[in-house]
Structure 1
Amino acid sequence: MGKCNIDHSYESVINKLESQQNLLPESLVEDLYTFLKINQSQQILNELFHLLKKYDLASVEEQKKRNKELLLLIR
């Protein structure tokens, strides 16, 4: 994924998660919401946003890759 210079707000990350949550594994969605309850750095918010961005358009293989990256980020 390309580097983005836009800082994404907590609200934009939550909105993106809400828009993609039907496609994500349920346990991952729960973990993401729990993780986001804790104040996160701007860098983490940006990374989460970009992993969720266009998740619905990604291939199954790409979705699996992003799921692993999301888990690594929040654990």
Structure 2
Amino acid sequence: MSKCTIDHTQNDVVQKLIEQQAFLPGELVERGELFLSKPKAQETLNEVFHLLKKYDLAAEEERMKRNQTMEQLFR
């Protein structure tokens, strides 16, 4: 994924999670919602936003990589 210079708000990330939830594993959505229920560092918000961005268009292998990264972040 390319590096983006735009800072995404917590609300932006929550909205992106909502948009992509139909394409994500249910458990990952639940963990993401819990994770985003508390304030996060800007760098973390940007990373999660870009993991979710165009998730629905990503190939299965790319989705698996993104899922693993999100699972690690959401711990």
- 1:2 matched residue in structure 2: 2
Q: Which AA in structure 2 matches 1:47?
A: E
Unaligned 5+ segments in structure 2 are: none
Runs of 4 or more consecutive aligned structure 1 residues displaced over 2 Å after TM superposition: none
Match of 2:27 in 1: 27
Paired with 2:23 and 2:15, the residues of 1 have a C-alpha distance of: 14
Aligned equivalents of 2:53, 2:12: Cα separation in 1 = 11
Aligned length, in residue pairs: 75
Instruction: Give the TM-score normalised by the residue count of structure 2.
Output: 0.96
Unaligned runs of 5+ in 1: none
* TM-score, normalising length: structure 1: 0.96
Q: What's 2:70 paired with?
A: 70
Distance 1:46 1:35 in 2: 14
Percent identity reads: 52
Could you tell me which residue of structure 2 aligns to residue 14 of structure 1?
14
How far has the Cα of 1:11 moved from its partner?
Answer: 1.0
Cα distance in 2 for residues equivalent to 1:72 and 1:28: 11
Q: Deviation per CA, 1:17-73, whole angstroms, max 9, x where unpaired?
A: 000001100000000000111110101100000000000000011111100010111
RMSD of aligned residue pairs (Cα, Å): 0.6
**Aligned residue in 2 for 1:42:** 42
